[in-house]
Structure 1
Amino acid sequence: MVKVMRGSILALAAVLLLVTVANIPVAEGVTCSPTELTSCSSAFMSASPPSATCCAKLREQKPCLCGYLRNPTLRQYVNSPNAKKVASSCNVVTTNC
């Protein structure tokens, strides 16, 4: 009986440990892909307000913006006045790179 109780207690402790570890937030890496911002293309190219999807993707891609600014092909889009307005509308603060 004591062995059964000890085994049950160890099993319960293992389950609690797994549940605790599974709930620890882990920072997930962002895949930098400018194509993720296609939902923002109309807002970048015109004065139209950004969609909720655009803002969500812009927030997701925020860690990538400095890399996009270093890319000569992408710089003109990311650094454009409309892109800055979109970022401001989405409450995405761009850092100085």
Structure 2
Amino acid sequence: MKSKVGCVAIFVAIVVVHAIGEVEVAKAAVTCNPLQLTPCAVAITTAGSPSAVCCAKIKEQSPCLCQYMKNPNLQKFINSPGAKKVATSCGTPFPKC
């Protein structure tokens, strides 16, 4: 009986390690494209609330936000209070770059 429990524990550990590895690969596979944040434009520039699509895109593009902040053409939007409000509303931590 103990050997079955040990085998199950090892199997679960392998699955968890594999899943964590897949998450890291998924993060690395994000294609940084600021146009993906277009659904957030109205919420960033006005007092509007972000849509579900906007929140999904913010979460998807969050690994890219520091890169966008370094771009002179994008930083005024990404560093704006509206962008911080949208990130907070969507439950996505605003990056500290």
Post-superposition offset of 1:77: 0.3
Greater Rg by CA: 1
Q: Which residue of 1 aligns with 2:83?
A: 83
Q: Which residue of 2 aligns with 1:55?
A: 55
For residues 9-58 of structure 1, give each alpha carbon's deviation from its aligned partner in whole angstroms, at most 9, with x where no partner exists: xxxxxxxxxxxxxxx54222100000000110110110000000000000
Equivalences for residues 12-91 of structure 1 within 5 A: 24-25=18-19, 26=22, 27-28=25-26, 29-91=29-91
**Normalising by structure 2, what TM-score?**
0.73
Q: Runs in 1 of length 4+ with deviation above 6 angstroms?
A: none
Code of the residue aligned with 1:61 in structure 2: it is Q
Give structure 1 stretches of 5+ with no counterpart: 1-23
- Considering only aligned residues, what root-mean-square deviation do their CA atoms show, in Å? 1.6
| Rounded Cα–Cα distance in structure 2 between residues aligned with 1:34 and 1:69 | 11
